Structure 1
Amino acid sequence: MSILPAFLALTLPAWSGAAPAAKPAQPLNVLIIGADTLRADHLSLHGYKYPTSPNIERLATRGVVFERTFSQGSYTLSSFASLFTSRYVEQHHAVSKFTAISDSETMLAEVFQKAGYRTAGFTGGPNLALQYGFGKGFDTYLSGDLPRQMDAYIPVALKWIQKDRAKPFFLFLQPQDVHPPFDVLELPEAERDRWDPGDHERTERFMGTFYLFRAFNGDAFANNKPEPSDWLQKEIAAAAKDPRTKRHMASIYDDRVAHLDASLGRFFAELERLGVMEDTLIVLVSDHGTLFGEGGKFAHGMHMSTHDGIFHVVLAVWAPGLAPRRVKSPVELVDVAPTLLELAGLPRPEPFEGRSLVPLMRGQEDSQERPVFGTATATWNESGAIKHYVRDPRWKFVSEEPSGKTTLYDLASDPEEVRDVSAARPEEAQRLSGLLTRHLQRLLSRP
């Protein structure tokens, strides 16, 4: 039988009616599932048109779903660096394949490790490799040594969890089921045609190995610029004008989302069977999304898009006795680490920038909408090009370096984010420019 730790009973009264007790003998375990490339608006959890996430939804009836979570980075390295350091991209400087998290940064896993937790991280891709500083604070850290799918993580994670049940654990998993490339032509017909039959060969070109790795990454890397060369740009532009192609690409992605959801269902069932769910705080989060022709762009990581399809991510939290709730206030990935530390009763490192979301989990919505900030960089870019943005409920203001170009989007009338309205709405552009400038100045004052 699980006993809800006293610090949870004290900080989150809605979670449990248990009376406060002395310091708990066994703190809650912490499990973070960082689903790479999972767009929030493609989950039925968030009202998507296809039933892509039934298992996540079932677990959500026992937890808190944050409806408007925004990442700080545009691809895996920069985004997860912000999650684990609770620092903005301009501070941790992990902006491309040629950079890494500074060794001076305090990582979330370090705090749990020093508190006596067993710590492990299992990642399937190269972007969270040891060379980028992500192994700090982990007793065990495997990066790129596992297949990309969640199904491969299940036996590894379960074996590690059961290795020592006497100590609490901190476990990070990074499944890449929904991260291209997809071997579209190899998928069973029932899966690739699940929601939208289409031109599989063309979809393979855009979402398969050729497009993502040989053409897009390789080309951008060879030319040392954040955009692919002219021949590929023309192919992208043609596809962006073809609604049929875009729909089919999205449907293949949706199938992969459903595949991940089914795997998570199996994993959660095993945790239930082992009695682990009773004592575990589970976080499902994503680092960024991907594009299917929005603003004439596809994929992510190479084109420095600031579109919500990249930055609107998933965040849901489950724990024993947690009262189900949907939070509408906008939050950021830098808020995840401070939240987990408060829930665990552990001290917050001074450099952390994010805020604890515990008050929101209690039902105390923000009285005034907070702006969110993000930074778009390019995976292979060495040129120093970068885009900073600030977003409020209606407007998004983007400032580019080193060009100095600025853009204002009216999200209410232009969700594709293609029309610059700064000349028509100079007062909004000036207001948000000042907000972004003050934010960046503050970050630079806290290196």
Structure 2
Amino acid sequence: MNLKRLFSTLVAICALIVFFTWTYYPGIPTKAADDGVPNGYKCPGCSVILISIDTLRPDHLGSYGYGRDTSPFLDDLAERSMVFRKFYSPIPKTNPSHASMFTSKPPYLHGVRFNGQSLDEGETTLAEILGQQGYVTGGFASAAHLNMQSGFGQGFDTYDSGSIIKSGTYYTRYAGQTSSLASQWLESNRGERFFLFIHYFDPHAPYDPPKEHDIFQGASDSLLHRLAGALTYASPSANKSLDFLRTGLETARYDGEIHYVDAEIGGLLEQYGSLDDTVVIITSDHGEALGEHGYYFAHGDVLYEEQVRIPLIIYSRGVRYDSGKLSLNTQLMPTILDILDITDNYSMHPSLFAGESLTELVFESDRCTHPNASDNHCYPEMSNKGKLTAVRRGDWKYIHTPARDGEREELYDLVNDPGEELDESGQKEHAGRLDGLRSILAPLMPLIHDAEDEDVDVDEQTIEALRALGYVV
């Protein structure tokens, strides 16, 4: 079946994040640049646990400044970790973002631009590299579109993405079930040098945390939710237009899902024991819209901060550091190899990597050192199917929608307007800045759009899974 037709209702997205300069996320205490570089972050020969929490916004974690106590374990871990405040997904979709995470390539290079597309066998993944280095490798995913057929299992000795009911919907499983499998695998490989990848589908919609974690909703949230239900019953066609009444309750449930996953991760790592010889990475594939910009309880359609900014917490020998450097998830793979002091693949085959190690950016240089970098910015590029593009340079962000969709430009000052509510693209005083951001995107657009119109076949089982999860109508 042709994927192009199936996904005609989805807006295809392409985003390019361009970084420069040393800036910090406002409101978060950070170590000053002249405080000295922390030593001892490298962990040669250590095991690695990479945890991806689907749909997780960093601004809903306590360690990123959130007011609710959604993440007590992760907050404690962050106190002993390297925390990246301006870390971005190349695209707010699960498969393409994870492909970038595993290959250090943007979507238009690795070719995965939709959920349901498979990662090419010719790509070199993190699991394959670590396997070649003698690591035992295991992966446990919680959604069917990250199954073996998706290509994400390549390089893993054990890979499990079994389909289990969640909330009456097949093809996903609860965090507790995934944790149990991962914990059993850890126990059976105790004493080995290992790489473990865990993907939690919570807090992806529908938000349905276990009762003991559904602790954040108030009486007014429930009242407005019931009102929306009554109005929908009276006028079914008004269902989506009443989402704003559900925002409080749905956000509380979303936070409850985070609380649930946090507890599962805490239990898993506490059962595992000492992290002296283990590197732990916590991140996400993308964020979630919770009413911002008219989008409710969804992702994948726009490139605003709530959908593309993601957390990154790296525990390595208890080294504590806060970074406000702009960074992208294509940098995660070389960062892990750098921490492990595995330099063979990067030095001998630099073309494998579109990103550079985040530790080099933070600890060893005042600017990008990758061959793609200039003196004041670097750009690991990325794309989906080429309708929207975005570039961030410093505190300014530019979003472009092409003419075929009604050409539109947006320009936001993320320091004074972090919610991206005031478009300044029409202000004369910003004409020079706008031209500069356009010029950064210009040489990349042919590469992005050359990859636009390919037809992709997807097997019926994957299509059914995507339909059950709401990705296909």
Fold conserved between structures, TM > 0.5: yes
Structure 1 residue 57 displacement after superposition: 1.6
Aligned partners of 1:83 and 1:336 also within 8 Å: yes
Q: Are 2:300 and 1:282 aligned?
A: no
TM-score, scaled relative to structure 1: 0.77
Q: Work out the CA distance in 1 between the residues paired with 2:226 and 2:110.
A: 35
CA gap of 1:319–1:98, structure 2 versus 1, over 3 A, is closer
Partner of 1:298: 296
Match of 2:146 among 101, 124, 128: 128
Structure 1 residue 343 displacement after superposition: 1.6
Q: Are 2:151 and 1:153 aligned?
A: no
Q: Work out the CA distance in 2 between the residues paired with 1:47 and 1:119.
A: 34
CA gap of 1:203–1:331, structure 2 versus 1, over 3 A, is farther
What is the one-letter code of the residue matched to 1:386?
A: K
| Helix, strand or coil at the partner of 2:325 | coil
What is the one-letter code of the residue matched to 1:406?
A: R
Structure 1 residue 61 displacement after superposition: 2.3
TM-score, scaled relative to structure 2: 0.73
Partner of 2:96: 78
| Helix, strand or coil at the partner of 1:253 | helix
Q: Work out the CA distance in 2 between the residues paired with 1:179 and 1:198.
A: 24
| Helix, strand or coil at the partner of 2:401 | strand
Q: Work out the CA distance in 2 between the residues paired with 1:338 and 1:204.
A: 49
What is the one-letter code of the residue matched to 1:390?
A: V
Q: Which deviates more, 36-45 or 140-149?
A: 140-149
CA gap of 1:400–1:91, structure 2 versus 1, over 3 A, is farther
Aligned partners of 1:325 and 1:361 also within 8 Å: no
Structure 1 residue 284 displacement after superposition: 0.5
Partner of 2:80: 62
CA gap of 1:389–1:292, structure 2 versus 1, over 3 A, is same
Q: CA RMSD in A?
A: 3.4
Partner of 1:417: 420
Q: Work out the CA distance in 1 between the residues paired with 2:226 and 2:387.
A: 30
Q: Work out the CA distance in 2 between the residues paired with 1:376 and 1:326.
A: 28
Q: Work out the CA distance in 2 between the residues paired with 1:58 and 1:125.
A: 28
Written as runs of structure 1 = structure 2, the 5 A alignment for 1:401-416 is 401=402, 402-403=404-405, 405-412=407-414, 413-416=416-419
Structure 1 residue 178 displacement after superposition: 0.9
The C-alpha deviation readout for 1:342-392, integer Å capped at 9, x for no partner, is 122222242210011123453756598747677675xxxxxx563121113
Q: Which deviates more, 322-331 or 289-298?
A: 322-331
CA gap of 1:375–1:404, structure 2 versus 1, over 3 A, is farther
Q: Work out the CA distance in 2 between the residues paired with 1:375 and 1:237.
A: 33
Partner of 2:26: none
Q: Are 2:112 and 1:94 aligned?
A: yes
| Helix, strand or coil at the partner of 2:140 | strand
Structure 1 residue 439 displacement after superposition: 4.0
Aligned partners of 2:103 and 2:125 also within 8 Å: yes
Q: Are 2:240 and 1:236 aligned?
A: yes
What is the one-letter code of the residue matched to 1:31?
A: I
Q: Which deviates more, 76-85 or 164-173?
A: 164-173
Q: Work out the CA distance in 1 between the residues paired with 2:221 and 2:296.
A: 17
Q: Are 2:204 and 1:179 aligned?
A: yes
CA gap of 1:150–1:396, structure 2 versus 1, over 3 A, is same
Aligned partners of 1:75 and 1:287 also within 8 Å: yes
Aligned partners of 2:106 and 2:383 also within 8 Å: no
Partner of 2:440: 435
Structure 1 residue 95 displacement after superposition: 1.3
Q: Work out the CA distance in 2 between the residues paired with 1:297 and 1:406.
A: 18
Aligned partners of 1:390 and 1:397 also within 8 Å: yes
Q: Work out the CA distance in 1 between the residues paired with 2:330 and 2:391.
A: 15
Q: Work out the CA distance in 2 between the residues paired with 1:203 and 1:444.
A: 42
Partner of 2:271: 270
Q: Work out the CA distance in 1 between the residues paired with 2:335 and 2:391.
A: 22
| Helix, strand or coil at the partner of 1:329 | strand
| Helix, strand or coil at the partner of 2:410 | strand
CA gap of 1:203–1:318, structure 2 versus 1, over 3 A, is farther
Partner of 2:313: 316
Q: Which deviates more, 343-352 or 407-416?
A: 407-416
Q: Work out the CA distance in 1 between the residues paired with 2:260 and 2:91.
A: 25
Aligned partners of 1:236 and 1:297 also within 8 Å: no
Written as runs of structure 1 = structure 2, the 5 A alignment for 1:329-340 is 329-340=325-336
Q: Which deviates more, 409-418 or 57-66?
A: 409-418
Structure 1 residue 418 displacement after superposition: 4.8
Written as runs of structure 1 = structure 2, the 5 A alignment for 1:6-405 is 14-15=39-40, 27-97=45-115, 99-145=117-163, 148-183=173-208, 188=211, 191-200=213-222, 235-240=239-244, 242=245, 245-272=246-273, 275=274, 277-302=275-300, 304-320=301-317, 322-346=318-342, 347-348=345-346, 349=349, 350-362=351-363, 366=367, 370=377, 384=385, 386-401=387-402, 402-403=404-405, 405=407
Report percent identity of matched pairs.
26
Q: Work out the CA distance in 2 between the residues paired with 1:286 and 1:371.
A: 22
Q: Work out the CA distance in 2 between the residues paired with 1:117 and 1:64.
A: 24
Structure 1 residue 294 displacement after superposition: 0.4
| Helix, strand or coil at the partner of 1:95 | coil
| Helix, strand or coil at the partner of 2:276 | helix
Structure 1 residue 143 displacement after superposition: 1.5
Q: Which deviates more, 437-446 or 285-294?
A: 437-446
The C-alpha deviation readout for 1:9-42, integer Å capped at 9, x for no partner, is xxx9712799xxxxx7xx1101100111110011
Structure 1 residue 251 displacement after superposition: 1.6
What is the one-letter code of the residue matched to 2:98?
A: F
Q: Which deviates more, 338-347 or 356-365?
A: 356-365
Partner of 2:30: none
Structure 1 residue 97 displacement after superposition: 3.5
Aligned partners of 1:237 and 1:296 also within 8 Å: no
CA gap of 1:404–1:340, structure 2 versus 1, over 3 A, is farther
CA gap of 1:30–1:370, structure 2 versus 1, over 3 A, is same
Q: Work out the CA distance in 2 between the residues paired with 1:161 and 1:89.
A: 31
Structure 1 residue 98 displacement after superposition: 5.0
